[in-house]
Amino acid sequence: MPYKATIESTLRNFQYKYIHRIIATNKYLFKCKLSNSSLSDFCSENIETIEHLFWECKHIQPIWNQLTSFLEQQQLNNAKLCALQLAECRGTCSAEEALILMSVAVRG
């Protein structure tokens, strides 16, 4: 799968900071005395680390759940499309082509 990075500088800057784990979370800012609290700005219940901010926070979980549902639906749609294509070409395509379509359908 080819890698595609954004050329927009703000997003590129964010991507660089995220990858290198240098996003200024409240945990870090509190340690530097630049924030009044190390707790999450969203839930105020847990220490705001990168993991909490992007993965664990209860306000982030619905976004991940929606993304998971979307990807599962896309996978299902892809498998249905492959099965449909397989049914359409049955009898007209070679055994190799049918095998490729079946493997794509199985993988989703």
List residues binding Zn ion (CB under 5 A).
40, 42-43, 57
Task: Give the residue with the Cβ less far from Zn ion, 38 or 78.
Answer: 38
Task: Give the residue with the Cβ less far from Zn ion, 56 or 79.
Answer: 56
In whole angstroms, the minimum distance from the beta carbon of 33 to Zn ion comes to: 22
Task: Give the residue with the Cβ less far from Zn ion, 37 or 66.
Answer: 37
In whole angstroms, the minimum distance from the beta carbon of 15 to Zn ion comes to: 22
- What is Dmax (Cα atoms) for the chain? 72
In whole angstroms, the minimum distance from the beta carbon of 4 to Zn ion comes to: 30
Rounded to whole angstroms, the Cα distance separating 85 from 98 reads 9
Q: Which long-range contacts (CB under 8 A, 24 or more apart) does 79-86 make?
A: 79/105, 79/106, 79/108
Rounded to whole angstroms, the Cα distance separating 55 from 68 reads 13
Q: In this structure, which amino acid lies at residue 67?
A: L
In whole angstroms, the minimum distance from the beta carbon of 48 to Zn ion comes to: 7
Task: Give the residue with the Cβ less far from Zn ion, 66 or 103.
Answer: 66
Rounded to whole angstroms, the Cα distance separating 105 from 69 reads 19
